[in-house]
Structure 1
Amino acid sequence: MATIRVETVVGRSADEVWDAVADVGAVHRRLLPGRVADVRLDGDTRVLTMPDGSRVTELILAVDHTLRRMAYSVVEGQRLPLTYHHAAFEVVPDGDRSRLVWVTDVLPHGLAPAVRARVERGIVEMAATLEAAGQNGSA
């Protein structure tokens, strides 16, 4: 199994960043506006609708407020032919800022470079969205 780990510093407190990450039904507003058009929750299942109308179904595995960790698995609709996907976000305090860490495990190994490119782009977009929300006075 290939593991991809990316992280970035976000100019917001860990509590503020965690509040957005833990709000699993609002990823389209709080983390990836423009990349995700809508979100529907059904129990532990989250369905992301993309701007082109395609959908990705994820199983929310954990939202741990003590550890500031949210884990999920893509179970349907991925654009890459992955046979396994598991990912987790962790929010780590860093003074008055925070580090957002995203770890993703995938199979087959050969798709790791494509997945890495996506998560590297995604974490940059999330950090920019979170920082802009802080400048606008919202979370």
Structure 2
Amino acid sequence: MEPDVRPPARTAPASPEETAIASIRHEIVIDARPETVWDAVRDVGAVHERLLPGRVLDTRIEGVERTLVFPHGGVVRELIVDVDDDARRLAYAVVEGARPPLAHHHAAFQVLPEGADRTRLVWTTDVLPDSAAPEVRVRMERGAEEMRRTLETAAGPGRP
């Protein structure tokens, strides 16, 4: 006998707010070599030191979970989904503490060469409800700019 794998019955149809997922993509070009940028992105336990110092106070790793601690006392718990060195892609999901509150969050960074000495960092985030997309987009843009400055500073004056 086949197991019943149908979704549970709902008393009312899902509203668009419950089911519409927004996909947000933001790209930045960084004056640093791709291998340098990837080394910082893939270092999942050092967000507070290598990507967002000041914005993230501490990063803790326990198994495949990462906890980010913010200066205002907020805490975000994430699941590290994949670190793919060949594709230079890091995927993660926020499982607790998202601001704004989200029913679903999945994101990925991909590090791509932009010429010999520059990097294109592509940050893609899927969120539910889709109404949270404008606020999430602003946070991504600010965070990406902070990461760019941090990575370029780390690359040094004679960068990349």
Tell me the TM-score range normalised by the shorter chain. over 0.9
Could you tell me the TM-score, scaled by structure 1's length? 0.96
Q: Which residue in the other structure is 1:102 paired with?
A: 123
Q: Which residue in the other structure is 1:40 paired with?
A: 60
Which amino acid in structure 1 is aligned with residue 147 of structure 2?
Answer: M
Q: Which residue in the other structure is 1:16 paired with?
A: 36
Q: Which residue in the other structure is 1:72 paired with?
A: 92
CA distance in 2, matches of 1:39, 1:136: 27
CA distance in 2, matches of 1:45, 1:114: 24
The structure with more strand, counted as a fraction of residues? 1
Moved over 2 A (4+): none
Larger Rg: 2
1:79 deviates by 2.0
| Structure 2: stretches of 5+ with no match in the other structure | 1-20
Q: Which residue in the other structure is 1:117 paired with?
A: 138
Aligned residues: 138
Percent of residue pairs bearing the same amino acid type = 59
1:136 deviates by 6.2
Tell whether 2:79 aligns with 1:62: no
| Structure 1: stretches of 5+ with no match in the other structure | none
1:135 deviates by 1.2
CA distance in 2, matches of 1:27, 1:122: 11
Could you tell me the TM-score, scaled by structure 2's length? 0.84
Superposition CA RMSD, Å: 1.3
